[in-house]
Amino acid sequence: MKQTKIKVTLLSHTKDPERTIVAAIRQCYSPLSGYELWEKVSDDQKRKLIRQVISSGHTSTIEHASFTFAIEGVSRVTEVQTVRHRIGASYSIKSGRYNPSHSDFVVPPKIAANTEAMKVADDFKKDIDKMIEKFTKLGFAFEDIRYLTPQGTKTNFIMTMNARALFNFFAERLCLRTQWEIRQMATQILAECLKIAPNVFKYAGPTCVTEKICWQGKMNCGKPEKNKSIELRERF
């Protein structure tokens, strides 16, 4: 069975997102028009004002910057986990009803690394192909047959989030307790965001790094806070 990697592509984003955010911040206290404020933004203002609003928790102004990503080769498991992030986000997902490719599924790395386990997975894939073929010959529509296919079926989707929604997404999905696939996806998304708006997204990450607390409570990863913060800071 061929293994494919998650692919994240930044399709588009707000023009000069950091400048737009700073204009929004300044508009709250200035009599000037938003366009005038947008035109007159220095690099120093970007750094200082963005740091100020994020550190203070007044992050409504960063909602004015949005980012659109194409996500490829993830499982339906990760799709379902991702769309739980509904506020400030939009999704367009490949239809499973009209794309009959449900024997192509994501295999977790621990299973992929085990030769015997992969043989079982390959046999399972062949069985799914045979099942789909038999049900089709019996006259069933694929929209019904797909109910019997795995959660790991691969899919693609386009996701748009504003920066504030992305902060929430990163806080939860970069956590070491998060499932491996969506954490890999979130890591790639953050890498793309850092290229475009480094003064904003250098403050993004799991709460054990950004706020020195773990939102998982008793369900935490069990690592000492100091070691965990060092590991995650080096990674992100």
Residues designated catalytic: 173
Please give the DSSP secondary-structure letter assigned to residue 13.
Answer: E
Of the candidates 71, 132, 74, the residue with the CA atom closest to the CA atom of residue 100: 132
Question: Cα dihedral sign for 226, 56, 189, 82?
Answer: positive
Distance of alpha carbon 203 from alpha carbon 163, whole angstroms: 11
Answer left, alpha or beta for residue 21, where phi above 0 means left and psi between -120 and 50 means alpha. Answer: alpha
In three-state form (DSSP H/G/I as H, E/B as E, the rest C), the secondary structure along 56-100 is HCCHHHHHHCEEEEEEEEEEHHHHHHHCCCCCCEEEEECCCCCCC
Please give the DSSP secondary-structure letter assigned to residue 177.
Answer: T
Burial-class residue 16 by CB neighbours within 10 Å (0-12, 13-18, 19+).
middle
